[in-house]
């Protein structure tokens, strides 16, 4: 069988997953009358809600006498760990670039990773039907980017296909896109002729495990590419690694290859093909499957270091354990360490407290997705404000810096410059786009972008578009003013009353409604002043011959601010936690007792 292994790489929202949909439809994976969701590979609930790819997916299609294994990868740099590991399985990459936007920050990131793995590139200029599309400019910009990244001569000689993934058409010539016979299939011809067949090493069995899956019936499933030798169902093997070259003896259970969207059970897998196997419940990403007599571990996988850290700890508040199924430190620790098995860009470590764990990730979105997934699984815990992962370098203390690119209307330039400048950002380049749009690239400390997106959208009246990716470590930029306001902190437990909230909302913005249960130390709003304000949200009116018991029903309150998970993380002060449960998000003080907080403040 003729094989091709490719990855689809792109900046977020440039159309990778939509392109895969078109390929699946036109190669007969779906029946003509079959009802299929849009972006069928974004099967995770969070992926569908957010409209982004989070987890890499394996599929394959048959085209003539060729089997083409395709891996759809995330476009967001926070999930770069997914990109890094799947590129080890492939020999080429389809680089998808928007015909209007051109190369963007994540384009540079994923392309750099592809070049590091010496992959051949096939350029897809997508969304050719958008207004203001400039395909020739985009091709030139991609060429310049490849030169900047140090591409080899053969990588610079890349084929180009113009495409509208939404319409399911592609061609190497722009004029052919409007013909009645236009289809997506020219891209598959380009893969067969432009991407080399997999290199097959001589020698005994070698298969690097680059991904993990799970099945309720067969348990953990290892996924990877067979580099050499044959892998057989029921075979006794050695699972080795660089740190354990002697390996451990295991037995392969079921063996699969990919057929369309599904796994197909097979007896053996040829070298060069991407396979999956069950039966080895202890298998980890980065390990190698070898023959019993020939332990030859493949090199370890390198993944970029995390840039943001948070503390995950047991919820010890008054309402702790009421809404979650998994609430103990043992359950929390097991879940976090288990996440490291599949989430290779994540780092988890113990702290001085047995109830708290330090979790480091690639960015706010990376950590936010983990928190949301755990919440939906029934976990209840507290998290601290995200902090940058610092290191000691030649210039003293260094912090992670991000490359921030914004597309904004001209009249928003002043407010955005002021906003980014207050977060220690510096302008790198500025260019005029179509109409009155500007593109500005900043260099900003990673901590300066925490909770930045919602403020940015407000400043640009919803018309701004922003993306950011890790740039490098640089000298510490100094203190960044975050919140200029304090918190409204409840001082006793009870139910918030309308009459109490009516008085409190004169002093800030509320997060709660009448009837909400509150406790001492819980943050119920944002103060209009820089300092925290202790308030009694559960205070009741005294009933008298003047005041009726139902007088609260006549109180008119401003609707409270509903904070999303990202907004709540951005709101946190250094002395606050976010209490996360399957049903609620509550901001609270790390020290709940009012007197204890006052003593700590005096000491400070």
CA atoms within 13 A on the CB side of 468: 26
Task: Decide if pLDDT at 62 tops 70.
Answer: yes
Which residues are CB-neighbours of 239 under 8 A, at least 6 positions away? 247, 248, 250, 280, 282, 283, 287, 288, 289, 290
If phi > 0 it is left, if psi is from -120 to 50 it is alpha, else beta; for residue 307 that is alpha
Token pair belonging to 187: 């891209």
The whole-number pLDDT of residue 535 equals 92
Task: Decide if pLDDT at 249 tops 60.
Answer: yes
Round to whole Å and give the CA distance between 271 and 154. Answer: 25
Q: How many residues are listed for the chain in this entry?
A: 604
**Nearest CA among 374, 322, 306 for reference residue 80:** 306
Is-contact 55 74, C-beta < 8 A? yes
Round to whole Å and give the CA distance between 131 and 392. Answer: 48
Residue recorded with tokens 């590991």: 85
Model confidence over 131-163: pLDDT tens digits?
889 999 999 999 999 998 889 998 999 999 999
The whole-number pLDDT of residue 34 equals 47
Is-contact 572 563, C-beta < 8 A? no
Task: Decide if pLDDT at 56 tops 70.
Answer: no
Highest mean pLDDT among 49-63, 77-91, 457-471: 457-471
The whole-number pLDDT of residue 42 equals 41
Model-level pTM? 0.75
Task: Decide if pLDDT at 214 tops 70.
Answer: yes
Query: pLDDT class for 393, splitting at 50, 70, 90?
Result: confident
Task: Decide if pLDDT at 37 tops 50.
Answer: no
The whole-number pLDDT of residue 330 equals 96
Is-contact 211 224, C-beta < 8 A? yes
For 260, phi and psi rounded to 5 degrees? Answer: 65, -130
Model confidence over 261-302: pLDDT tens digits?
788 899 999 999 999 999 998 888 889 999 999 999 988 776
Round to whole Å and give the CA distance between 389 and 386. Answer: 9
E strand segments, 156-205: 160-164, 169-171
Token pair belonging to 91: 């020999």
- Which residues make beta-bridge pairs with 440? 406, 430
Q: Residue range 64-75: average pLDDT?
A: 83
Query: pLDDT class for 526, splitting at 50, 70, 90?
Result: very high
CB-based burial, 267-287: b 16+ in 10 Å, e otherwise: eebbbbbbbbbbbbeebbbbb
Task: Decide if pLDDT at 47 tops 50.
Answer: no
Round to whole Å and give the CA distance between 398 and 116. Answer: 25
Token pair belonging to 79: 């999930």
Q: Which tops the pLDDT comparison, 109 or 41?
A: 109
The whole-number pLDDT of residue 355 equals 94
The pLDDT mean for the chain works out to: 86
The whole-number pLDDT of residue 44 equals 47
Is-contact 556 497, C-beta < 8 A? no
Helix (H, G, I), strand (E, B) or coil at 257: strand
**Nearest CA among 275, 271, 362 for reference residue 60:** 275
Task: Decide if pLDDT at 48 tops 50.
Answer: no
CB-based burial, 25-40: b 16+ in 10 Å, e otherwise: bbbebbeeeeeeeebb
Domains delineated in the chain: 2-194 (3.40.50.300), 206-290 (2.40.30.10), 391-475 (3.30.70.240), 487-603 (2.40.50.250)
SS3 content of the chain, % helix, strand, coil (to 5): 25, 35, 40
Query: pLDDT class for 79, splitting at 50, 70, 90?
Result: low
């Amino acid at each position: 069988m003729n094989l091709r292994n490719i990855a689809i790489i792109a900046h977020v929202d440039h159309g990778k997953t939509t392109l895969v949909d078109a390929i699946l439809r036109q190669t007969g994976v779906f029946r003509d009358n079959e009802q299929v969701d849009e972006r069928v590979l974004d099967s995770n609930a969070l992926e569908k809600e957010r409209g982004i790819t989070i987890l890499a997916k394996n599929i394959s299609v048959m085209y003539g006498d060729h089997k083409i294994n395709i891996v759809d990868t995330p476009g967001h740099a926070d999930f770069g760990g997914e990109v890094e590991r799947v590129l080890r399985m492939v020999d080429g990459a389809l680089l998808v670039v928007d015909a209007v936007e051109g190369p963007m920050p994540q384009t540079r990131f994923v392309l750099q990773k592809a070049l590091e793995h010496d992959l051949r590139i096939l350029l897809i200029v997508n969304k050719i039907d958008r207004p203001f599309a400039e395909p020739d400019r985009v091709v030139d910009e991609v060429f310049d980017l490849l030169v900047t990244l140090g591409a080899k001569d053969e990588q610079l000689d890349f084929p180009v296909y113009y495409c509208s993934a939404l319409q399911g058409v592609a061609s190497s010539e722009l004029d052919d896109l409007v013909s009645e016979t236009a289809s997506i299939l020219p891209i598959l011809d380009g893969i067969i002729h432009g991407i080399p067949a997999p290199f097959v090493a001589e020698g005994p069995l070698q298969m690097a495990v680059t991904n993990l899956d799970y099945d309720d019936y067969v348990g953990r499933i290892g996924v990877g590419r067979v580099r050499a030798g044959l892998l057989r169902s029921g075979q006794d093997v050695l699972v080795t690694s660089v740190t354990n070259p002697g390996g451990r003896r295991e037995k392969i259970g079921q063996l699969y290859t990919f057929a369309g969207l599904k796994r197909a059970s097979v007896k053996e897998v040829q070298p060069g093909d991407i396979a999956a196997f069950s039966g080895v419940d202890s298998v980890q990403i980065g390990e190698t499957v070898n023959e019993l007599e020939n332990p030859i571990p493949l090199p370890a996988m390198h993944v970029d270091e995390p840039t943001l850290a948070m503390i995950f700890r047991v919820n010890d508040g008054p309402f702790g354990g009421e809404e979650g199924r998994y609430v103990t430190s043992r359950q929390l620790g097991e879940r976090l360490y288990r996440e490291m098995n599949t989430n290779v860009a994540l780092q988890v470590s113990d702290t001085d407290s047995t109830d708290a764990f330090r979790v480091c990730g690639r960015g706010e979105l990376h950590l936010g997705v983990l928190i949301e997934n755990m919440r939906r699984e029934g976990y209840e815990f507290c998290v601290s404000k995200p902090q940058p992962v610092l290191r000691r370098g030649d210039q003293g203390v260094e912090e992670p810096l991000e490359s921030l690119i914004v597309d904004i209307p001209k009249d928003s330039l002043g407010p955005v410059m002021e906003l980014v400048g207050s977060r220690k950002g510096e302008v790198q380049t500025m260019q005029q786009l179509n109409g009155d749009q500007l593109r500005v690239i900043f260099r900003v400390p990673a901590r300066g972008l925490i909770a930045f997106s919602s403020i940015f959208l407000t400043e640009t009246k919803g018309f701004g578009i922003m993306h950011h990716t890790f740039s490098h470590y640089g000298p510490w930029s100094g203190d960044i003013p975050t919140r200029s306001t304090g918190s409204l902190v409840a001082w006793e437990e009870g139910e918030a009353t309308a009459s109490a909230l009516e008085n409190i909302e004169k002093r800030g913005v509320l997060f709660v409604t009448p009837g909400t249960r509150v406790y001492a130390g819980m943050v119920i709003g944002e103060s209009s002043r820089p300092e925290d304000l202790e308030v009694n949200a559960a205070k009741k009116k005294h009933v008298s011959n003047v005041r009726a018991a139902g007088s609260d029903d006549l109180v008119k309150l401003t609707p409270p601010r509903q904070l999303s998970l990202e907004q709540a993380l951005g709101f946190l002060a250094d002395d606050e936690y976010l209490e996360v449960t399957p049903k609620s998000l509550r901001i609270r003080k790390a020290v709940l007792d009012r007197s204890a907080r006052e003593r700590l403040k005096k000491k400070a």
